[in-house]
Amino acid sequence: MGLGTLDVVMLVLSLLASAAVGVYFSVLGRNSTSVEYLLGGRTMKPLPLALSLMVGTVSAITIMGSAGEMYAYGTQLWLMDLGILLALFIIAKYFIPIMYPLELISLYQYIEKRFKSKWLRQATAVLQLVGGYLFIGFLLFPPSLALQSMMGLSFFVNIIIIGVSCTLYSTFGGVKAVVYADTLQAVVMIVGVLAIVIQGAVNMGGIENVLDIAYHGDRLEFFNMSLNPYQRHSFWLCVIYGFFFTLSNNAVNQSQVQRYFSTGSVRNAQWVLYYSAIALVSLRFLINLAGLVMYAYFRDCDPMGKADPSIVLIFYVMRELTKIPGLTGLFVAAVYAAVLRIVVLNKQNLTVFANSEYTHLK
């Protein structure tokens, strides 16, 4: 299936806008020092940093995978949000007041200060760098295949588009370009997922009808308190997973922690977390609701069979959103935005490595 003219326009405008942000900050910005380039001079406002933090947590796999989990297995996974909120609160309350006053550029500097070991600092930096780039391949592969089926572009062309776009705005503009491009991408992601929810709810006669169908299909389940660690979802598994995933992603991930360090005070850094929590839970709410919409729509004719349920969102977009010009392009732009952000996160790790860690390896 190819995209219509308006769909292509929506997608191209989204990609060009992200690249334009990088060019803008390259021309008008002053990134003469590492602190300016990597931390925005520690003068950035909490709200755009919070949206950047949120986008860094939601990948294209999150959009497709979480909706697919809701479709196939119900709402138990939704309880991840409890663990996410608890972890973000702990980071804001206990992590930031310790780390921010140290005025670090990278977390690896803290490792050397804390353990008095330059070797441990170097090893940690290299391991996270290698792991991050392997993770990029994992995150790029599924959405690129999905976009290939929707757009008619080859797998490698999709990879090139993603690579060129994120390189332009992350290389030239520094962290300011990345943060404001993330803010734009956050809006694109929210609007793209919201379009699916609204269109699906209209097709099914309203959200109430969607929830009623999900209830009678045994998809509304929140308090499975089983302690069996081998089942797919339970209250405990979802909350614990959400908690530790968020700790690893937001407390010890260089690119995410860079957002807190880019503000002007401990209080502002904490507000980055609080705003991010609201934005993240809201976006995850829409993604999960989209999964229930998919279930209501396909309840009498499962298009997946034994296939991966994460593809169900693509099936719905191809069947329904193409009826309204521009909506398919909006969804594709949302997927691209999610992919771009994860690639940029790991490119920033390389930048930090080059600026503050490489000299220690010499």
Nearest Cα neighbor of 48 from 177, 137, 149 is 177
Most confident of 54-58, 305-309, 341-345: 54-58
- Residue 243's pLDDT band, with cuts at 50, 70 and 90, is very high
Contact 310, 64 (CB under 8 A): yes
Q: 120 vs 108, 254, 272, 360, CA distance in Å?
A: 9, 16, 29, 11
The pLDDT of 247-262, averaged and rounded, is 84
For residue range 123-177, list pLDDT tens digits in order: 887 787 777 777 777 767 766 766 676 667 777 777 777 777 666 666 665 677 7
Query: 337 near 188, Cβ under 8 Å?
Result: yes
pLDDT band at 357 (very low <50, low <70, confident <90, very high): low
Q: Give the residue-averaged pLDDT of 297-306.
A: 76
| Fold held by 5-350 | Sodium/glucose cotransporter (1.20.1730)
**Which residues fall within 8 angstroms of residue 119, CB to CB, at 6 or more apart?**
none
Identify the weakest region by mean pLDDT among 30-39, 68-77, 88-97, 221-230.
Answer: 30-39
**In the prediction, which pLDDT does 93 show?**
93
- Looking at per-residue confidence, does 357 or 213 come out higher? 213
This prediction has a pTM of: 0.85
**Calpha distance 135→162 (Å, rounded):** 15
User: What is the C-alpha to C-alpha distance for residues 301 and 291, in angstroms, rounded to an integer?
Assistant: 15
Domain ranges of the chain: 5-350
Residue 91 has pLDDT above 90, yes or no: yes
**Averaged pLDDT, 259-288:** 92
The pLDDT assigned to 286 comes to 94
For residue 28, the model assigns a pLDDT of: 65
At 271 the pLDDT is 95
In percent, the amount of the chain with pLDDT more than 70 equals: 81
Name the average pLDDT for the chain. 81
* Cα-only R_g, the chain: 21
In this structure, how many other beta carbons lie within 10 angstroms of the beta carbon of residue 74?
A: 22
